[in-house]
Chain A
Amino acid sequence: GAVVSQHPSRVICKSGTSVKIECRSLDFQATTMFWYRQFPKKSLMLMATSNEGSKATYEQGVEKDKFLINHASLTLSTLTVTSAHPEDSSFYICSARMAGGTFNEKLFFGSGTQLSVL
């Protein structure tokens, strides 16, 4: 089946630093990728939708200058948490929609990134 690779799986950083998380579709092209945040024992909260070659669409309440998203190719999207603070600590998950599929079918998730900001 389709594989979405997300790296790193875990990152610990100091407050004030920036962290980049990569999401790659390994064996398919993804016109759209999604970024979610998940708190312990909670559901997935959509942060933003990124379409290849265009600016990401952020959900209400998500700071676009804080969470920079780049979707430069059909197989790669990146999320950069800028000037991270302890409250940004969370589990971040990406998903990719296979090009050519009907809209919400063919949606595959990465394995997540646990971010801990000290």
Chain B
Amino acid sequence: GENVEQHPSTLSVQEGDSAVIKCTYSDSASNYFPWYKQELGKGPQLIIDIRSNVGEKKDQRIAVTLNKTAKHFSLHITETQPEDSAVYFCAASPLSGYSTLTFGKGTMLLVSP
């Protein structure tokens, strides 16, 4: 089955800095890679996702890059703000079929004012 590794487990940055979270996956059949943000006591919220037919996707301050050959994908947050502080999870799965999402272990991002 799929195995998703996520690093770092914690990340502290100053407001305005950039933050990068990296994930690797093992199953070459995976072609859908979402990122979720989870605030304390709440469920995960999808913030951005990417399919394997593109290498990069941007949405304002958030971007995701994918390297299919190396089987890794990254989340980039620019101009970080204190409200970006949360736990971020990457996930991987085939886009179709009966496989479920496999989540990474999460990264706690702390943005200090």
Contacts and interface: CB of A to CB of B under 8 A. Distances in A.
B96 A42 contact: no
Interface stretch (A11-19, A69-77, A99-107): A99-107
B95 A43 contact: no
A49 B32 CA distance: 19
Identify whether the interface residues of B are mostly helix, strand, loop, or mixed.
loop
Given A107-B46, A108-B46, A112-B42, A44 B97 contact: no
Contact of B95 (A46, A49, A104, A114): A104
Contacts of B14: none
Interface stretch (B55-63, B67-75, B103-111): B103-111
B93 A104 contact: yes
Interface string B34-60: 101000011111100100000000000
Interface of A: 4, 6, 9, 34, 41-44, 46, 49, 93, 95, 102-105, 107-112, 114
Contact of B101 (A9, A41, A107, A112): A107
A105 B100 contact: no
Contacts of B36: 109
A61 B103 CA distance: 18
Contact of A105 (B32, B41, B44, B97): B32
Contacts of A105: 32, 49, 95
Nearest to A2: B46
B95 to A, nearest CB: 5
A102 B95 contact: yes
B45 A109 contact: yes
Contacts of A109: 36, 43-46
A109 B100 CA distance: 14
A108 B34 CA distance: 12
A7 B24 CA distance: 34
Contacts of A34: 100
A49 to B, nearest CB: 7
Contact of A103 (B46, B95, B103): B95
